[in-house]
């Protein structure tokens, strides 16, 4: 009897584990897209490699209705044009671009401030991706909404 109880318990656990696993696999039914190495001078590179960085780290304050510093990053024109401090992205010139100075935390110290703040600074790898994209000409997809 005891042994039976134990078995049942173990089987129950296994069943639960299977359900959980099945669900994580099942619910996530879309297979992860393979990472393609796009040329940094293409809009595809922006779409795959750059946009997710901006979405995760910047849209909270510069996407949709959010225009901190009068800066919206969600439209092609806006992303490049910048906000109240002027041009944010100079295609071909990452070091001269205000956006890069700010994400490297090497810009003017407080006006505008480093982006995002110290605790949330982008990883070096992500900063390098943004720089590579700007150096190659900051190509943007046609379908990015325009203001």
- Report the distance separating Cα 115 and Cα 120, nearest Å: 8
139 binding ligand HEC? (CB under 6 A): no
Least distance between ligand HEC and beta carbon 137 (Å): 18
Under 8 Å between Cβ of 126 and 50: no
Among 3-11, 24-32, 42-50, 61-69, which window interacts with ligand HEC (CB under 6 A)?
A: 61-69
Q: Provide the b/e sequence for 47-71 (b: ≥16 CB within 10 Å).
A: bebbbebbeebbeeebeeeebebeb
Q: Rule CB under 6 A: is residue 85 a binding residue for ligand HEC?
A: yes
**According to the binding rule CB under 6 A, does residue 116 interact with ligand HEC?**
yes
DSSP 83: B
Positions in the binding site for ligand HEC (CB under 6 A)? 57-58, 60-62, 68-69, 71, 82-86, 88, 98-99, 102-103, 111-113, 115-116, 122
């Amino acid at each position: 009897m005891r042994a039976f109880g134990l078995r049942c318990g173990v089987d129950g656990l296994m069943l639960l584990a299977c359900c959980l696993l099945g669900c994580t696999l099942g619910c996530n039914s879309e297979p992860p897209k393979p990472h393609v190495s796009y040329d940094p001078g293409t809009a595809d590179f922006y779409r795959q490699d750059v946009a997710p960085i901006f979405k995760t780290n910047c849209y909270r304050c510069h996407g949709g209705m959010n225009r901190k510093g009068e800066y919206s990053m969600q439209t092609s024109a806006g992303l490049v044009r910048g906000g109240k401090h002027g041009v944010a992205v100079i295609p071909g010139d990452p070091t001269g671009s205000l956006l890069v100075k700010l994400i490297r935390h090497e810009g003017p110290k407080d006006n505008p401030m480093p982006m995002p703040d110290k605790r949330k600074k982008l990883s070096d790898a992500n900063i390098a991706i943004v720089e590579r994209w700007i150096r190659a000409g900051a190509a943007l997809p046609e379908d990015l909404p325009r203001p």
